[in-house]
Structure 1
Amino acid sequence: MTWATQAKEYEQGLINDLNQIIRIPSVLDPKTQTPQTPFGIEMIRALSQMEAFANRDGFRYGRVDNMVTWIEFGPQDAAETVGILTHIDVVPAGDGWLRPAFTPEILDGLYFGRGAADMKADLMSAYYAMKMLADQKRVLKRKIRLIIGTDEENGWRDIPRYIEQEGEPTLGFSPDGAFPVVNGEKAFQTVQLRFPSLSDGAYILERFMSGSRPNVVPGEAKARVQVPKGVDLIKDFENYLEQYPFLNGEAKQNGQTVKILLLGVQAHGAYPADGKNAGTYLAHFLSRYDFGGDARAFLDFVGVTIHQDVYANGLGLTYHDSQMGDLTLNVGVMRYSHRGQGTILLNFRYPQGVNLQAVITQVQRHLGALNADVTKVQAGMPPHLVPIEDELVQVLSDVYAEQTGEYLPPRTSNGGSYARLLKRGVAFGGQFPDVKVTSHQANESTPVANLTRTMAIFAESLWRLCK
């Protein structure tokens, strides 16, 4: 029997367990954060469910500071460890879902639910790959550790804590990317702009809100505007939407107050070209009017300088590396409150050859009239590259080629996976090249057939690395 045939026998069990994980809304929850629940109570529920699976299936398991659960198979005293670095946290559901985001559903061969693509489905495929090897009583020389974090979508405070306490695996992969092997990952860094927000002029921008995470292309933007007497902004907004058929929204006017909602297309911030940034489009629409003061500067910067600018041309940061590709920019969060404080979060992904200070300097040089302080947010990550000649890259590439019938060379990703925390770590799966990327988007999904297809690739890869 082939690996794929053997994996297929586990499909229903995998789906049943995945359903339980998808139903847990494991989103960072400040309201339930305590020293015992560092990222919220739902994260603890999710880790406990994975531990219940491990207990049921006879695996060794443990927990680190209520941030990470590890599940282990293979000789306990093995000198070397193959790590599978995963996360069970997800981004908020957001708007635009045609079905409840945390109620899993299968329609037309697709499995829907928040986390179906990033990355609960691939977590369960990896878990079931271990389960299949254990059921077959495979004798390993290296041990396997499935390492499950809870803070990947936010501050990456989990896996570094695990490595500090448990040590770094000898080598490993993170199924939080795409096939084939992703042996290079660009640096990523969020830059924060803070500025005063005092409006004047014929039009007053009272409030502007778009985005919740720097690593997500905002799919929604809202604004409240005071307009001069006799001005009808609603018709202008309707005409603007007609120019851009991929946008939706509505405007409501009561006297001189206009409330605007604009809907774009949410996407993963690592690939901003896949989305339509609702925030920059709304700023672009408003920038044509007679706003003054800080509102004018804010709308010009967001709606003109960096609008539709995924390669940061307007910031003088266009850069291409022959091995790792282009620098990209996502405008993830935009906030403006009249007589308050304004904030913009810019998420950069850049290859080797670019440094953080150059990024900050160029942003400062292109602020125009925006009187902003520019700082980095938390610690970013430098570029990461594992040589193609490494055993890890070679084995994973060979398994993928043999099981799919197509060799695809290792490549670089804009996304950041936990693999970069290992000296010998790569991203590997579970996104197949012929599948549309829906990570961080509404109606996130993955083909049902790919659950065991991915499982089979992981199982053989682990076997070859450990036998």
Structure 2
Amino acid sequence: MIFGTEILKYREAILKDLADLVAVPSVRGAAREGMPFGPEPARALCLILDKAEKMGFAVRNVENYAGHAEFGSGDDLAAVAAHVDVVPAGEGWDTDPFTLTRKGNLYFGRGAADDKGAAVVALYCLKAIKDAGIRGNRRLRVIFGAGEETGMEDLDYYFRKEEMPSMGFTPDSDYGICNREKGILRLDLLSGEKNESVVKEFQAGAVYNAVPDHAEAVLSCSAKTADALRKAARTAEGGFAFEPVPEGIRVTSKGKASHAMQPQEGFNAAAALIRLLSAVFSREELGGFFSFLDQSVGFRYDGSGIGVRQSDEESGPLTLNLGILRVKDGSVRAGIDIRYPVTSDGDKIFGEIRRRAEEAGFSAELLEDSKPLYLPGDSRLISILRDSYSEIMGKPAELYATGGGTYARAMKGNAVAFGPFFPDEPDRRLHNTNESIDIERFMVHAQICLEAMYRIFTA
């Protein structure tokens, strides 16, 4: 029996609830009491848990870090985990990023693809199982996180309070089955207390895990030097704008956003602006830190500039992204995101970066080292997911590796990433402008998701 097709009857309800969820601009903000990721992620979490409770599920909100809706009984637990927080909207949208907008088969909105659409579908899959009166062999949860995009502390905290599922998946990647996730390093490069540079202000990026599409700097320079910058910009890679200010000139750099796991798909506005400044100012004028960034980081997405280029057969090459750059109170901070191969060692990678930074007179601070995930292809869970995919698609799901970090690694080897998108789909602009889902393809995902949830519930 194919159970997954039962989800099709909920299509309009899914779109309505997705519109409600997209309308919440659930970007991480300053923490408040009871709201560790700020008010908007908490509001999104409460919204979807309220919808779950009205469907008749047992729900729990774990201090606005994450929450769940649960169905069934038994000592064992299976889970599907999705998130309701989003990255900042960025610039250049053709529609309001926080209004779900239809154009043909496409529905646009920040979070529609990553990961609110999948969160709503998973909830309705749970509802379809409940409405059909299915009796399972364990409890089944849909877990909703509120801080996935900024480090996944949400599920780390959640699992300190809640039990770990024996099996599960997260619909926050691609099909087939992602049983290998690269390690994730996040670190800051720091200049120290004194900024002797002509760069008096610099601002780019809001999160580590996205290529910044906008950067701007205020420079202390003469009118003659400002003219030299304008001239250099004509042949430089990127788009630049200039505005006179009392200190000298403000330069704005326009780039293209992309997910940090594939920085080569974007265009880094911060790296482009540093490259422009390096073409006009001497190392002494620009300052050693900016010169170090240009030479060691810049557009070298493979880590070769800072000595950490590497690859393996299981998961592919290391990638490096300059996600954040700030000049504040006379010091400079650069935020770096690295995705490293599953057979590699994050400690050694950071050690090499720190060594090179210290040799240049700067420092490096490790913020996170999320170890790689590798689940064997002959595991029971992968067998269930392969069969679920085959039931809907008529062919088995392939195994693959990703540079993305998903909730699967938070479930300690008991879960993998599975869906919601298909390899032959065009760019969905994750973490970029005009994020969207193709509703016809997404409802195919919904059938696979329901089939998988039904099978892990009844296996």
TM-score class, shorter? over 0.9
What aligned pairs does 1:124-135 form with structure 2 within 5 A after superposition?
124-135=120-131
In the alignment, what sits opposite 1:415? 404
Q: Summarize the Cα distance change of 1:137–1:207 in structure 2 as closer, same or farther, 3 Å threshold.
A: same
What aligned pairs does 1:357-436 form with structure 2 within 5 A after superposition?
357-367=347-357, 370-377=360-367, 379-422=368-411, 423-435=413-425, 436=427
1:198 aligns with 2:195: yes
What aligned pairs does 1:297-376 form with structure 2 within 5 A after superposition?
297-337=288-328, 340-367=330-357, 370-376=360-366
Amino acid at match of 1:349: R
| 1:35 aligned counterpart, secondary structure | coil
d(CA) in 2 for partners of 1:209, 1:369: 26
d(CA) in 1 for partners of 2:140, 2:4: 20
Amino acid at match of 1:417: T
State percent identity of aligned pairs: 28
What aligned pairs does 1:249-264 form with structure 2 within 5 A after superposition?
249-253=240-244, 257-264=248-255
Q: Alpha-carbon deviations, 1:137-190, whole Å to 9, x = none?
A: 111112210111111112322212221222101111111111111111111011
d(CA) in 2 for partners of 1:70, 1:110: 29
d(CA) in 2 for partners of 1:331, 1:419: 25
Count of aligned positions: 454
Report if aligned partners of 1:221, 1:261 keep a CA contact under 8 Å in 2: yes
Q: Summarize the Cα distance change of 1:5–1:195 in structure 2 as closer, same or farther, 3 Å threshold.
A: same
1:356: Cα distance to partner?
Answer: 2.8
Q: Summarize the Cα distance change of 1:307–1:66 in structure 2 as closer, same or farther, 3 Å threshold.
A: closer
d(CA) in 2 for partners of 1:199, 1:229: 20
Q: Alpha-carbon deviations, 1:304-324, whole Å to 9, x = none?
A: 332221110111211111112
d(CA) in 2 for partners of 1:387, 1:321: 17
d(CA) in 2 for partners of 1:218, 1:34: 27
Q: Summarize the Cα distance change of 1:409–1:205 in structure 2 as closer, same or farther, 3 Å threshold.
A: same
1:117 aligns with 2:113: yes
In the alignment, what sits opposite 2:272? 281
d(CA) in 2 for partners of 1:28, 1:254: 32
1:248 aligns with 2:243: no
What aligned pairs does 1:84-99 form with structure 2 within 5 A after superposition?
84-99=80-95
| 2:86 aligned counterpart, secondary structure | coil
In the alignment, what sits opposite 2:450? 459
d(CA) in 1 for partners of 2:284, 2:333: 16
Q: Which runs of 5+ in 1 are unaligned?
A: none
| 1:267 aligned counterpart, secondary structure | coil
Q: Which runs of 5+ in 2 are unaligned?
A: none
1:214 aligns with 2:205: no
d(CA) in 1 for partners of 2:79, 2:52: 16
| 1:184 aligned counterpart, secondary structure | strand
1:424: Cα distance to partner?
Answer: 1.2
Report if aligned partners of 1:195, 1:370 keep a CA contact under 8 Å in 2: no
1:397: Cα distance to partner?
Answer: 1.8
Q: Alpha-carbon deviations, 1:109-159, whole Å to 9, x = none?
A: 111111011100011111111111111111111221011111111232221
Query: TM-score, normalised to structure 1's length?
Result: 0.92
1:253: Cα distance to partner?
Answer: 3.4
In the alignment, what sits opposite 1:236? 231
| 2:230 aligned counterpart, secondary structure | helix
Q: Alpha-carbon deviations, 1:368-411, whole Å to 9, x = none?
A: 9842111201x321111111111111111222233223434211
d(CA) in 1 for partners of 2:217, 2:359: 21
Report the aligned-residue RMSD: 2.1
In the alignment, what sits opposite 1:296? 287
Moved more, 298-307 or 144-153: 298-307
**Which of the numbers 181, 196, 220 marks the counterpart of 1:226?**
220
Report if aligned partners of 2:4, 2:451 keep a CA contact under 8 Å in 1: no
Report if aligned partners of 1:237, 1:251 keep a CA contact under 8 Å in 2: no
Report if aligned partners of 1:284, 1:299 keep a CA contact under 8 Å in 2: no
Amino acid at match of 1:209: Q
Report if aligned partners of 1:262, 1:278 keep a CA contact under 8 Å in 2: yes
Q: Summarize the Cα distance change of 1:461–1:284 in structure 2 as closer, same or farther, 3 Å threshold.
A: same
Amino acid at match of 2:196: S
Moved more, 229-238 or 308-317: 229-238
Report if aligned partners of 2:203, 2:325 keep a CA contact under 8 Å in 1: yes
Amino acid at match of 2:323: G
d(CA) in 2 for partners of 1:2, 1:424: 25
In the alignment, what sits opposite 1:67? 65
Query: TM-score, normalised to structure 2's length?
Result: 0.93
Report if aligned partners of 2:306, 2:356 keep a CA contact under 8 Å in 1: yes
In the alignment, what sits opposite 2:17? 17
Amino acid at match of 1:54: A
Amino acid at match of 1:25: P
d(CA) in 2 for partners of 1:63, 1:229: 57
Q: Alpha-carbon deviations, 1:412-434, whole Å to 9, x = none?
A: 11011111122211011112112
1:47 aligns with 2:45: yes
d(CA) in 2 for partners of 1:255, 1:275: 33
| 1:9 aligned counterpart, secondary structure | helix
Q: Summarize the Cα distance change of 1:367–1:7 in structure 2 as closer, same or farther, 3 Å threshold.
A: same
Amino acid at match of 2:42: I
1:295: Cα distance to partner?
Answer: 3.0
d(CA) in 2 for partners of 1:333, 1:294: 22
Report if aligned partners of 1:248, 1:262 keep a CA contact under 8 Å in 2: yes
**Which of the numbers 68, 78, 84 marks the counterpart of 1:82?**
78
1:234: Cα distance to partner?
Answer: 5.3
| 2:24 aligned counterpart, secondary structure | coil
1:181 aligns with 2:171: no
1:281: Cα distance to partner?
Answer: 0.9
Q: Summarize the Cα distance change of 1:18–1:229 in structure 2 as closer, same or farther, 3 Å threshold.
A: closer
Q: Summarize the Cα distance change of 1:5–1:394 in structure 2 as closer, same or farther, 3 Å threshold.
A: closer
